[in-house]
Chains A and B, each alone.
Chain A
C-alpha cells in the first residue's frame, strides 16, 4: 500500500500520483500521513482507489471526486467534496462550511457536524451528516438528498429546487420556499438505504421529517415579490 507522508512529500506529488492511476491499477489503497490541515488533498481523483488521510485537512479535500473513496480520519476544512461526481468522501470528524457544495453525485458522509451552507447548490449528491448542519444548508439545492441526523440551523433549504431534505432533530428555521412534506413509503425506503450506505445503522427512518420545495418561486409571480428579497 503506498503511504505518502506530507511532512516530507509535496502535496502536488501526492495528487499527481493519484491522478496517474490507470484503470485496473493494483495500487488501490493509499494512505496519507501528516496532512496538518493542508488544502486540496486528494482532489480531482478519477479512479476507484481508496485514500485514507490520517489527520485533519484544510480547504477542498476530495473536491471533484469521481469513483474514489476518500476517508478523512480527522476534520475537514471548507468545501470538502465540493463538486463531487461519484464515489464517496467520508469525514470522521467535523466538516467546515459548504461541505458537498454543487455536488453532482456520489456520497458524502460526515460523522461529526457540518457547519454552514452544507450542500449549497447540490445537484445530485447524497449527503449524510451524523450530527448537525449549520445555517443556510441546502441553499438553492437542485437535486440529491441531504440527511441530517441531528439539528439543522437557520434558513434550511432556502430557495430550494428539487432536492430532498431529511432532518431528525430540530430545524431552527426554514428558508424561502422550503416546506415540510409528507414522508411517504418511498422516502422511508430511500432514507433507510442512505443511512445504511453511510453506516449509521440503528437510526430509525421514521424519526425524520422530510422537507422540500413548495415550488412557488420557480416562475416569477408578482404576488411572490417579497419572497425574492
Chain B
C-alpha cells in the first residue's frame, strides 16, 4: 500500500509551521504504511553552504568526531546537528563531493542519505508518528516537504529501504506502487556510473529521474520521459530544490489527491491527509489524472 504526503508552501507565513503541518498529515497515513517512514524537508538555502544528511546504525560512535574529521578533510570548520540516528553536516557548497568521498572512504558506518543546498532527509524503521517524533519533524521549518509511510513490497524493511530516496543534489522521490523493470533499469544506470545503496525499486526510479535531469531535462521533462521507461504501478511525488512534482502511471490504481489554495499545494494518498489543512474547505481539491505530469516551482 504505502502512504504519501507532500506540501509546497506559497505563503511564506506558513514556513515556520511546515514541519508541524507535514507531521499531522503523515500521522493520518500510518495505517497505509506502518513499517517505516521518512520525510524530506527543504529549508531556505544559505549562501555558499550545503547540507549533508548522514545516518548511522551506531550514531553515538559514528558521529563523535565526524564533524572534525570532515572539517579536516575539506580544510574548514564543519557544523553538525544530530537528530536521533541522523545528523546534518553543514559544509562549503563547493566541497560537497569531497565531503561525500571522505565519508565513504573514512567513515564506513556512516551513510549519506542526501545532500544539497536546501534538503534534509530523515527516515527510519518504525511506526510513522514515532519516526516523526524521534526526528522532531513538528519543529522543522521550510518551504516544501515530502513524507512517506511504507508498507514494504519489493525490498526489506530497513532504514535505507525507507523513503524518500535521494540520488541527486536536492532531489528526492517517494513512491507508492511497484516497478516491474527496475532490475534492468538499475543495471543500465549502474553502467552509466550511478551508485545504488539498496535493492529497492523506488531508488531506481529516483536514480532514473536524476540521470534524466543530469542530461539537461527539467523535472517535468524527466517525469514525462519516465512514462515511457518505467514499467509498473506508481504514484510518485518528487522534490527538487525549488519544486515539487507528481506523476501517476497510466493505469493509476494507486490513489492520489491534490489540493491547492493561495497558500499551498498539498498532496495526499487520501483526502484524510489533507482534511486538517487550513482552508481545505474552500481549496481546489482534485484527483490527478493518469499519465499526467504535475509540478509546481517557485
Contacts and interface: CB of A to CB of B under 8 A. Distances in A.
Contacts of B289: 134
B252 A37 contact: no
B127 interface: no
Interface of A: 36-38, 56-59, 75, 77-78, 93-94, 96-97, 115-116, 134-135
Interface in B271-298: 271-276, 285-287, 289-290
Contacts of A37: 270-275
B255 interface: yes
Interface residues of B, number: 18
B272 A36 contact: yes
11 contacts: A36-B271, A36-B275, A56-B271, A56-B285, A58-B272, A94-B287, A96-B255, A96-B257, A97-B253, A115-B287, A134-B252
Given A94-B286, A94-B287, A96-B287, A116 B272 contact: no
Contacts of B255: 77-78, 96-97
Give chain B's interface secondary structure class: loop
Give chain A's interface secondary structure class: loop
Interface of B: 250-253, 255, 257, 270-276, 285-287, 289-290
A93 B287 CA distance: 12
Contacts of A93: 285
A169 to B, nearest CB: 16
A181 B275 CA distance: 44
A56 B257 CA distance: 12
Nearest to B31: A39
B275 A97 contact: no
A38 B272 contact: yes
A75 B258 CA distance: 13
By CB atoms of chain A within 10 A, which of B252, B271, B290 has the most? B271
Contacts of B286: 94
Contacts of A116: 251-252, 290
Contacts of B250: 135
A37 B257 CA distance: 11
Contacts of A58: 270-272
